[in-house]
Structure 1
Amino acid sequence: MYSILSSFAQALARWMAYAGGAVLLIVVGLTCISIAGRALLPFNLGVGPIKGIYDITEIGMAAAVFAFLPWCQVQRGHAAVDLFEPVFPPLLNRLLDLLFDGAMFAVALVVTYRMYLGMADKMRYGETTQIAQIPVWYGYAASLVGAAAFVLVAAFCVIRAARALVRGKADGAHV
């Protein structure tokens, strides 16, 4: 059962990171097209800048950041102060891993819940972006996908750390 959960968490995190990378590439491409369009406008070449590129960039960046969180979590890539890790006994390090993974799971749950509430609020009031008039909840919804994946991966990381604590070895907790 653990190997199935591990494979699922790894695959989910990897594919969310790929999706975040694809979103970033699209945003970069659109930004380049918009800049080129703006630069060529005085010469009557091109279509001009893309209307609402700032709105598109803002939504895309938020979605990408949330898409990268599951990969960062499963790879233990979040900022950590492990100055004392070499001098702590392995049991204490595994206990701290469990504690920190549990805290990150709690943070992921709160952030995802609050993101959902924010999205519902933006939907209810019909708020749109200033320039392109894109419904703001689209950005929340795109980010919510990554946040939900973050919760699932963080839950797996708690299981992984608990298993390492019980088994008495790192068990892939430190990559």
Structure 2
Amino acid sequence: MYRFMMRLARFMAALGGAVLTFLILLTCVSIAGRLLNGILHSDAVQSVAPGFANWAIGIGIGPVNGDFELVEAGVAFAIFAFLPLCQITAGHASVDVFASMFPKGVNRFLRMVTEIVFAAVLVLIAVQLAQGMLAKMKHGETSFLLQFPVWWAYGASLLAATVAALVGLYMAAIRTYEFFTRRIVIWDGVEAE
């Protein structure tokens, strides 16, 4: 089961990384287009090469239409896509100033409780995203510039959030088992022998 969950988490992280890379390139192209469009509209370029400037503007040199809408939807998906890998590898930021002084049993208990709470929060987020997606579908809401259905973004985020919730529930079950059996099933470097 662990191998499957790890593969799924890595796949989602790779997919989130691909989406994030696309969004970075899209943003760079949009910024460059916005800058070039401003230069082409400047008095200097219009006085020196008005024909070229107007031709370049005419073929569409400028910002990418709807770039903010795509970035908004894509970043939401990417965040949820990275959560499963972060959850299964214990990659979340933690502050353990006092925890290092506690006995192993207390630390295992805290870890179990933390995983259970995290799993519950991930499930709650997935449920709320599902309700939000259904509401967006029902009302037929579309984005302002590109006019794509808003529920598409909710659906993509819901897919990633559902995987995150599944991995969270799996890790909560593992940490609960570890607490009660006093055996470490998944070594992640957090607990040293």
Tell whether the structures are fold-level matches, with TM greater than 0.5. yes
Q: Deviations over 1:122-166 (max 9, x none)?
A: 010011112221211111011011100011100111122123223
1:145 maps onto 2:141 in alignment: no
Give the aligned length.
171
Match of 2:12 among 3, 16, 36: 16
- How far apart, in 2, do the equivalents of 1:134 and 1:69 lie? 26
Moved more, 131-140 or 13-22: 131-140
Who wins on radius of gyration, i.e. which is larger? 2
Matched, 1:97 2:105: no
Aligned pair 1:115/2:111, yes or no? no
CA-CA distance at 1:72 after TM superposition: 1.2
- How far, CA to CA, are the matches of 2:102 and 2:12 in structure 1? 34
| 1:106–1:173 distance in 2 versus 1, CA, 3 Å | farther
Structure 1 segment 1-175 matched on structure 2, within 5 A: 5-41=1-37, 42=40, 43=53, 44=56, 47=60, 48-172=62-186, 174-175=188-189
Q: Tell me the distance in 1 between the aligned counterparts of 2:18 and 2:79.
A: 12
- Cα deviation, residue 173, structure 1: 5.1
Structure 1 residues 62 and 76, CA gap change in structure 2 (3 angstroms): same
CA–CA distance in 1 between the matches of 2:187 and 2:177? 9
Q: AA paired with 1:148?
A: T
Question: 8 Å contact 1:9–1:153 — kept in the other structure?
Answer: yes
DSSP 3-state at the match of 2:100: coil
Gaps of at least 5 residues in structure 2 are 41-52
Gap regions ≥5 residues in structure 1: none
Whole-angstrom CA distance in 2 between matches of 1:49 and 1:86: 51
For normalisation by structure 2, the TM-score amounts to: 0.83
Please give the per-residue CA displacement for 1:11-66, whole angstroms capped at 9, x wherever unaligned.
11111111110000011111111222222231426632211001011001101011
The 8 Å contact of residues 160 and 173 in structure 1, kept in 2 or not, is answered as no
What TM-score do you get using the length of structure 1 for normalisation?
Answer: 0.91
Structure 2 counterpart SS, 1:134: coil
